[in-house]
Chains A and B, each alone.
Chain A
Amino acid sequence: MNRAQRRAHARLWPILVLVLLSVSAAALVAKARIDSAAIEAVAVLAGDE
């Protein structure tokens, strides 16, 4: 790689790491909310019975 390409990589990767971390964290939080909502729904249904 030439100097410009190395600079481009050095600028890009910190941003990409942040993007990957944010997306993964947001997705896992969303999944946890969906799972807990499903457990609550099952508990409510069981209570109704």
Chain B
Amino acid sequence: MAHGYKIIQWTPFKKSYDAALLLGVLVFISAYLVGALAFAPQGERALPIQVALRALGACAFSLLTLILLIGPLARLSPRFLPLLYNRRHLGVTCFLLALIHGALVLLWYHGFSDLNPFVSLLASNPSYDSIQGFPFESLGVIALLILFVMAATSHDFWNNVLGPNMWKALHMLVYWAYALIVAHVMLGAVQGEKSPLHAIVVGASAALIALLHVVAGWRETRRDTKLADAKNDGWLRVGPPNDIPNSRAHIVTPPEGERIAVFRDGARIYAISNVCRHQGGPLGEGRIIDGCVTCPWHGFQYRPQDGKAPAPFTERIAVYRTRIEDGVVFVHSDPAPSGEEVAPSVIAGAQQ
């Protein structure tokens, strides 16, 4: 949260997450090296340095594919939420792998030129007007610059400085970086390969990412168009209180404004904004832990009665009035004045 910053606030979960990440990277690169050096047909075997730089590039591409799969998967099923929690560690690792890949390319293919290696990389092939022989390296350079900006601003410090909306808009550049990398591989490595394996893997990865994003986006749009039943006086129908699982929420969509998460904590009913102040996480998909609504994305917490983060944190979200009438919960679509504590509705006859 915004109260003081450390580079990484280590927890046992983060340590095991990063250990699994490191192991995965090592296994991927080792398998690629062994496969390409030991099993390639005679006459098609590349030099070890060429295989190494391709292994690093392939690993960075695979990691970026995984990173982009996590978002829609977590929206489609909460089982994938633990992967989302420390996704930025995957992003920084991906950038470092891509950087080493780029450095090796620069050294091996341009380090022996009379020109400055950077000039040689960007100027040696000017065929920008042709798909055949297109200077695919420049696409990789632009993608690497985007990944650098994202890795450099991945810390919560920058989220706080830029604001969640600007930060998110900046980090949506990752999709363009991915498109550039797909083009970089398709117009580069794939052109020189006899086997169609690279083209199939890259094409299938891009197709899977596009499909999952489109499906998850379609589901979200459908939710936005399925508005809660509204009375003329601004009260929205939520449903019977016991239909809301304990410590969890039902999410309702008002005609205007953000979604509202209606939580049940034992016999008490609270309503808060569904949007976390940190990165816009869906609070209604989280649960109440130690009396606080906990965001499923990164664990930010808010008290359901006034929307304030517990001290010493200072974030605050909107809270809404609720009422129970004839066994049905209603929530008012207008938020309560900022900072005001809203008394919960109590389910009659239920144990608190």
Whether A23 and B199, one on each chain, are in contact in the complex, defined by CB atoms closer than 8 angstroms, is: no
Whether B210 and A13, one on each chain, are in contact in the complex, defined by CB atoms closer than 8 angstroms, is: yes
Task: Write the nearest CB–CB distance from B227 to chain A, whole angstroms.
Answer: 13
The stretch among B58-66, B181-189, B301-309 that forms the contact with chain A is B181-189
Whether A23 and B183, one on each chain, are in contact in the complex, defined by CB atoms closer than 8 angstroms, is: yes
Whether A27 and B214, one on each chain, are in contact in the complex, defined by CB atoms closer than 8 angstroms, is: no
The stretch among B12-20, B26-34, B111-119, B164-172 that forms the contact with chain A is B164-172
- The answer to whether A16 has its CB under 8 Å from any CB of chain B is yes
- Which of B190, B191, B199, B220 touches A1 (beta carbons < 8 Å)? B220
Interface class of chain B by DSSP: helix
Whether B224 and A3, one on each chain, are in contact in the complex, defined by CB atoms closer than 8 angstroms, is: yes
Specify the chain B residue showing the minimal Cβ separation from A13.
B213
Please name all residues of chain A whose beta carbon is closer than 8 Å to the beta carbon of B187 when the two chains form the complex. Answer: 23, 27, 30
Whether A20 and B206, one on each chain, are in contact in the complex, defined by CB atoms closer than 8 angstroms, is: yes
Whether B172 and A1, one on each chain, are in contact in the complex, defined by CB atoms closer than 8 angstroms, is: no
Chain A proximity mask over B167-207: 1 for CB below 8 Å, otherwise 0: 01100100110010011001100110000000100110011
Please name all residues of chain B whose beta carbon is closer than 8 Å to the beta carbon of A12 when the two chains form the complex. Answer: 172, 175
Whether B179 and A8, one on each chain, are in contact in the complex, defined by CB atoms closer than 8 angstroms, is: no
Whether B275 and A2, one on each chain, are in contact in the complex, defined by CB atoms closer than 8 angstroms, is: yes
- Which of B191, B213, B258 touches A30 (beta carbons < 8 Å)? B191
Task: Write the nearest CB–CB distance from A18 to chain B, whole angstroms.
Answer: 10
Q: Residues of A with Cβ closer than 8 Å to B?
A: 1-6, 8-10, 12-13, 16-17, 19-20, 23-24, 26-31, 33-34
Q: Residues of B with Cβ closer than 8 Å to A?
A: 131-132, 134, 165, 168-169, 172, 175-176, 179, 182-183, 186-187, 190-191, 199, 202-203, 206-207, 210, 213-214, 217, 220-221, 224, 257-258, 275, 280-282
A-B contact pairs, 28 of them (CB 8 A): A2-B258, A2-B275, A9-B172, A10-B221, A12-B172, A12-B175, A13-B213, A13-B214, A16-B175, A17-B210, A20-B182, A23-B187, A24-B182, A24-B199, A24-B202, A24-B203, A24-B206, A27-B131, A27-B183, A27-B191, A27-B199, A28-B199, A30-B131, A30-B134, A30-B187, A30-B191, A31-B190, A31-B191
